[in-house]
């Protein structure tokens, strides 16, 4: 597989971010399931990191009153996020496993965007937007100061894409507590692309992008 990166401008970021479209659970990020063709957080397993036991929260400002390591589902209830277990993350060389005691940014949604074929000179473009909320440190105004974001292949090989992000592709909102970045992965795959993503110190996420 050939991995390439081309980045798009994130023009707007609505405070309320709808779940990514899906057909099956495997189309959704880690910890989410496909409900009515939209990704939603699934049933809680294990202790809630926010102590709310699924208490009410605000979906417009992730984690919306839930503690670090949780996110506010569209139902208005806190749900736990877990570290991914797909081979992309499990085999990631040099990556420290993420727990509720970590301090890095938490990826809470990945939206499968309309693919832009011209983004790739070879292979096929798989375009997506990654959304995350901040850990102990708010997101910076300059993309060059963003915590490192890695894309992982099935072998666990990681590519640090942060230094390739132009300022125009990066947006922060909700008082620097959330960020969004849109980019394309170029691949020889024709219909679906499985990959892992993680910030340094943040949760690993498995996602399937389709064309």
Q: pLDDT tens digit string along 88-131?
A: 999 998 899 998 889 999 998 888 888 889 888 999 999 888 88
First to last CA, the chain: 16
DSSP per-residue string spanning 79-119: EE-----SHHHHT-TTPPPP-TT--S-EEEEEEEPPP-GGG
- Going by C-alpha positions, the residue among 78, 86, 46, 44 that lies closest to residue 61 is 78
Phi, then psi, of 129 in degrees rounded to 5: -120, 130
* pTM of this structure: 0.76
Report the pLDDT value the prediction gives residue 174, as an integer from 0 to 100.
Answer: 81
pLDDT in tens, 3-27: 444 433 333 333 344 566 777 777 7
């Amino acid at each position: 597989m050939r991995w390439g990166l081309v980045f798009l401008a994130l023009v707007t970021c609505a405070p309320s971010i709808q779940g990514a479209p899906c057909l099956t659970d495997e189309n959704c990020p880690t910890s989410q399931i496909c409900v009515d063709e939209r990704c939603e957080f699934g049933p809680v397993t294990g202790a809630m990191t926010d102590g709310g036991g699924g208490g009410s929260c605000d979906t417009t400002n992730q984690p919306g009153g839930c503690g670090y390591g949780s996110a506010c589902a569209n139902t208005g209830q806190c749900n736990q996020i877990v570290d991914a277990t797909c081979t992309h993350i499990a085999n990631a060389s040099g990556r420290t496993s993420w727990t509720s005691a970590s301090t890095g940014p938490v990826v809470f949604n990945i939206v499968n965007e309309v693919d832009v074929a011209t983004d790739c000179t070879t292979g096929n473009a798989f375009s997506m937007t990654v959304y995350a909320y901040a850990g102990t440190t708010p997101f910076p105004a300059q993309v060059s100061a963003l915590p490192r974001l890695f894309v992982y292949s099935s072998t666990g090989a990681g590519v640090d894409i942060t230094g390739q992000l132009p300022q125009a592709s990066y947006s922060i909102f909700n008082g620097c507590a959330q960020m969004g970045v849109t980019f394309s992965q170029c691949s020889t795959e024709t219909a679906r692309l499985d990959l892992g993503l993680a910030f340094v110190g943040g949760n690993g996420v498995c996602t399937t992008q389709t064309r």
